[in-house]
Amino acid sequence: MKMKKRFWGILLNLVMALGLMIGMSSTAHAADLPITIDPVGGGTVTKTERTGVYECTAHPAEGYNFQNWTYTLIGEPKTDTSITKSFDSSTADDITAHFVKAYPLWVGGKQVTSANASDIFGDGKASYNAETKTLTLDGYSFSGTGYSYQEYSGAIYAGEGLDLSLVLSGTNSVVNNDLSSGMPCGIYAVGALTISGNGTLEAEAKQRGISCRGKLTIIDGSLTVKGVSGHGMFVDGDVEISGGTVSVEGASDGICSQGGSVTISGGEVTAKSKNDPGVSAQGQIKITGGKVTAETESRIGMSSSNVTIEGGEIIALGNEKGIRGTVVNAIPGTGWTNRDGTAGKAGIPVSASGQSLDYKKVQFPGESLPPAEVTKAPTAKTLTYTGSAQELVTAGTPSGGTMQYAIGTKDAATGSYTTSIPTGTDAGTYYVWYKVIGDKDHNDSTPACVTVTIQAAAATTAAPTAVPTEAPEKPLPKTGDNANPALWLLLSVLALGSAVFLLRSLGRKGNR
C-alpha cells in the first residue's frame, strides 16, 4: 500500500514538472514571437497566447487605418485583412502589421489613404494629392450610397480639417442614392471647397447637390447640380463664382448662402428653384460680370437685403418679384409687371443709394431706351471776382429726365453729378459738365461741357485830388514900356474918350 502511494506521488510530480516545462516553453516562445509595425508609429498589436497559437489584434494610431497582415506560412507569403488574426507559432513567420495614413476624404464610399491616393480605384479615374489637398476626377462615375457620418452622407465626402480642391477633367458624375441618412448630398464638405478644371461634373442627391460648411469657390469647369427634394447648392459661408458654366436646380433654393454672401464676377450661372429663390444670401448678392439667371416657380427670383449690380447680364424671374431687397445698380435695367416680360415694361434708372423694384421680371442691362435730351443747354455766365461764391452757368432745360451738373477737367467730370448748379469763388477757368439723368423711360444723355471764366477784379488806384491855383496877375504897363504897342494904342484911345466926355460935361454946366 505504501508502495502504491509512493508510485502515485512520483507520477504526480512528474506530470507537474512536465506541465511546468511546457508552460515555460510556451511563454518563452510568446515573448519571442516577432511582429513588425509598418510604419513605425502607425499602430500597435496586442497578443494573447493559447497553447502555441497567438491571437493578434491590430490597433491603428490616430489618423491611421489598419491595412493588412503579411506573413509567411511554411515559407509561402500570405496576406490577410482581418484586424484580429491567429498565428500558429510553429508555422507562421515574418509577421507584419501594416497601417496606412488615412485622409478625411471618401470618394464613392472609399476612404482615401496614403496607400491608394495616387490611384484611388486603380483605374486612373480618381487621385488625391495630400500636400495640395487636391482631388482630381478624370472620367469618374459613381451612383450609390457613398459615405455617411451622423446625419450627412456624400458620394464625395470631405471631412473635418480638410479644405478640398476639386479639379475636373473629362466627364464625371456623382449621384448619392442614400435614403437612410437625414441629409444625403452629392458632395458634402465640412471645410471649404474649390472647384476648377476644364471637365464636367454632375452632382445629385435627394437633399443637396452640393453642401459646403465653409466657403464655396467655383473658378472653372462645367457643373450640373441638383437637389431633388432640397437645395441645389447650400453653403454656410460665402459663394464666389468667377468662371465656368454652372447650372443649379433645387426644390428649395437653387444657390443659397445661409451665412455669407454670393459674389459672381464671371461665367454663366443659371439657378432655378421650385419653392424658394433661385439665388439667395444672408449677406449681399454682388454681380460684377458674367451671365446670371435666377428663376423660381414660386414668389422670388433673387433675394437678399442688399443686391449690388455693377456689370454682367442678369435676368431675375418670380411670380411676386424678380428681385427682393434694396438694389444698388450702376447700370440701367428694364422691369416688367409680369414674368413673361410682355406687360408693364418700364426702365430702371441707375441708383447709387438703392431702390426697391416692384417687377416680376427684371433685366440688366435694360432693353434699348431712347436717350434723354437737353432741350436748352446751360450757358456760361460773365463773371468777375467778388470774393464770394457765384453760380457758374445758367440752368439747362432737360427732356426725359433730370438735369445734373459736375465740376471736372476739360476732358471729363471729376466730381459727382448733382442737381445743384456748381459755383466758383476764385478767379480762373472752370469746366462745368452736365447731362440729363434719364427717367424710367429714357437712358442718360451724353455728358457735355461748358467752359466758364471768372475774371480778376480791375485795379482800383485812386485819382489824385486837384489843388486849385490862382491865375498869375497880368503886369501893368509901365511908362516907356512899348513892348506892346497895341496896348498903348488902346489906352490912348480910352484916355482921349474920357477927356472928351469930361469937357462936354463941364460945358453943359456953364450954359445953365
Q: What's the pLDDT at 472?
A: 52
- pLDDT, position 438: 84
CB-CB contact of 58 with 36 (8 Å) = no
| 373 grid coordinates | 435730351
Residue 497, burial from CB neighbour count under 10 angstroms (0-12, 13-18, 19+):
exposed
C-alpha grid cell, residue 2: 505504501
Task: Decide: pTM greater than 0.75.
Answer: no
- Containing 424, the helix (H) or strand (E) segment is strand 423-424
Are the beta carbons of 305 and 328 closer than 8 angstroms? no
What was the pLDDT predicted at 369?
77
Any idea how long the chain is? 512
Provide block-wise average pLDDT over 10 residues at a time, the chain (512 residues).
49 44 37 84 92 92 94 93 93 93 97 96 97 98 95 96 97 94 95 98 97 98 97 98 98 97 98 98 98 97 98 98 98 94 90 96 89 95 96 96 96 95 96 91 89 88 50 51 55 61 56 47
The CATH architecture one would assign to domain 373-455 is: Sandwich (2.60)
Q: Which residues of 314-339 are buried (b: 16+ CB within 10 A; e: fewer)?
A: bbbbbeebbbbbbbbbeebbbbbeeb
- What pLDDT is recorded for position 18? 43
∠ CA 172-226-359, rounded to 5°: 135
Dihedral class, residue 213 (left if φ above 0, else alpha if ψ from -120 to 50, else beta):
alpha
pLDDT confidence of residue 367: 81
pLDDT value at position 497?
62
Say how far apart CA 190 and CA 215 lie, in whole Å. Answer: 10
Rounded CA gap, 380 and 281, in Å?
A: 50
Q: Are 400 and 368 in contact, with CB atoms under 8 Å apart? A: no
Look at the block and give the residue holding cell 458674367. Answer: 290
Domain boundaries, the chain: 1-27, 33-100, 102-364, 373-455
Say if strands 43-50 and 53-60 run parallel, antiparallel, or are unpaired: antiparallel
Determine the pLDDT at residue 310.
97
Question: 224: Cβ–Cβ under 8 A, 6 or more apart, which residues?
Answer: 200, 201, 202, 203, 247
Backbone angles phi, psi at 24, to 5 degrees: -65, -40
Long-range pairs for 380-384 at CB < 8 Å and ≥24 separation?
A: 380/432, 380/450, 380/451, 380/452, 380/453, 381/452, 383/424, 383/452, 383/453, 383/454, 383/455, 384/454, 384/455, 384/456, 384/457, 384/458
Q: How far is CA 107 from CA 62, 158, 186, 277, in A?
A: 21, 9, 11, 31
